Amino acid sequence: MLNQLACEARALLRLGAPLVAAQLVQVGMAVTDVLMVGRLGGLELAAVGLGASLWMPIMLGCTGLMMAVSPMVARARGAGQADRVAAVLNAAMWLALGLALLATPAVHEVNRLLAWAGVDPLVQDLAGRYAQTLAWSMPALCLYLPLRFLCEGLGHTRPIMFIQIVALLVNGVGNYVLMFGHLGLPRLGAIGAAWSTVIVIWLNLALVMFYVFRTGRLRLSRRFDLKAQLELVKIGLPIAGATLLETGLFSAVALLMGRISTLAVAAHQVALNFAALTFMVPLGLSMAVTVRVGHAVGAERLPEARSRGFAGIGVTGLVMVFAAAAIWVFAGDIAQLYSSDAGVVDLARQLLMVAALFQVSDGIQVGALGALRGLHDTFLPMLNTLVAYWLVGLPCAYWLAFRTPLGAVGLWMGLTLGLSVAAALLVLRFRRISNHGAAR
């Protein structure tokens, strides 16, 4: 039994390591933007952060919806149904075109929220122009996502890693040239960072299209498959919902931090940034868990799908044990990397200590989500996250922060409780559905 689990863990790591690397590189792009925009000044940094926060929910919604491609392709590949793989891709590309037509004008219009929120006019103007520039990336992003998740579903994860590495390099060069006006180009400042992102996403689309279609074995058709479209939406909408529920929880906590103090907001950003970095590891592995489980389900090996799912949950939890230990030991040193303000460093250290407690729960819940997606089970897991995050985690966070002396630390304790409840509910859901062969 132990040998079987060890073999499954090795297979999962071989498949998941490139996806982990791709996620870390993607975070690296965001860090690069922040570091380079920070050289322009506080106004630009605030505007870029605000503009990106307007773009992010729409981007995450599109990503979550298209993540349905990965488990559907994985199941078709496991069943040896090459025609089904092509049909899923064709349906996803049609859906992506529709998403692009909706998402592009939506991003153009989100800057109206800035005036409603009463943001400083100078920040509002720059953040609005930043978001409107990013809108030109949405057609490419929507078309890139189904091709990326196709590769993941087929188990071709290394190309995605290499594409992200190229994107990181191009983004850095693009920022340098466009933001600061080198090579004879005008100095665009913060808007240059947005145009660099647009260029990178279109480049990603070109590279993944070259990889997918170079063999000629996958071709798009003009046929509109309504059944496949509906299946994609049925699986993908709850994934998008669960993603936005978790993102919304952290956004709500950030707003509540603002009621405590500016220092609390700064410390929260420090701790959250590092926690997001460590989360990329189990997130990448969970995508591999989806593929491994989907392949087994497609081949009608349900006991193997169950063992692969539990092995994946165990691996994602185990890697976060090491992350938790590192954060616990080096919390103060990590905080000092972000700030020289003694107050921010001290509070960030306390928040990082709490973050160490929820690392394992965070790894387990995302691993369980990956396993459930491999079974095409997404709706009830979304409801589980709704209960865990918004009916348990957020109310407890509010009570601990404002009804006890814990303050900012209490908010993060509420996060810990919410993630722990989510982990328990999702593991129990996978245990139940896989035990009864309920993969649909």
Same domain, 340 and 438: yes
pLDDT at residue 438, as a whole number: 47
**Tokens found for residue 93:** 């590309």
Residue 13 lies in a domain: no
Same domain, 276 and 409: yes
pLDDT at residue 39, as a whole number: 72
Mean of pLDDT values over 102-125? 73
The angle that helices 2-38 and 158-180 make with each other, rounded to 10 degrees, is: 10
Contact between residue 190 and residue 179 where contact means Cβ atoms under 8 Å apart:
yes
Model pLDDT for residues 152-196, shown as the tens digit of each residue? 998 888 898 899 899 989 988 998 999 888 888 888 888 898 899
Model pLDDT for residues 191-212, shown as the tens digit of each residue? 898 899 999 999 999 999 998 8
Mean of pLDDT values over 92-118? 80
CA distance 400 to 217: 57
Same domain, 306 and 432: yes
Q: Which of 421, 53, 107, 382 is nearest to 245 (CA)?
A: 382
Same domain, 219 and 256: no
Read off φ and ψ for residue 224, nearest 5 degrees: -100, 110
Residue 121 lies in a domain: yes
**Of the candidates 181, 197, 224, which is a domain's last residue?**
224
Residue 250 lies in a domain: yes
- pLDDT band, very low/low/confident/very high, at 248 (cuts 50, 70, 90): confident
- pLDDT band, very low/low/confident/very high, at 132 (cuts 50, 70, 90): confident
Contact between residue 37 and residue 45 where contact means Cβ atoms under 8 Å apart:
yes
Answer with the residue of higher pLDDT: 263 or 381: 381
What Rg do the C-alpha atoms of the chain give, in angstroms? Answer: 22
Model pLDDT for residues 408-432, shown as the tens digit of each residue? 899 999 999 999 999 999 999 999 9
Same domain, 56 and 96: yes
SS (H, E, C) 155-206: CCCHHHHHHHHHHHHHHHHHHHHHHHCCCCCCCCCHHHHHHHHHHHHHHHHH
CA distance 132 to 129: 5
pTM of the model: 0.86
CA 426 to chain centre: 18
Mean of pLDDT values over 329-346? 82
Domain housing 200: 18-224
pLDDT at residue 440, as a whole number: 47
Answer with the residue of higher pLDDT: 6 or 407: 407
Structurally, the chain folds into a number of domains equal to: 2
Same domain, 201 and 273: no
Model pLDDT for residues 21-44, shown as the tens digit of each residue? 888 887 777 777 767 776 777 677
**Of the candidates 224, 249, 274, which is a domain's last residue?**
224
Contact between residue 13 and residue 315 where contact means Cβ atoms under 8 Å apart:
yes
Residue 58 lies in a domain: yes
Mean of pLDDT values over 131-151? 92
CA distance 335 to 196: 30
**Of the candidates 181, 198, 224, which is a domain's last residue?**
224
CA distance 345 to 264: 10
- pLDDT band, very low/low/confident/very high, at 392 (cuts 50, 70, 90): very high
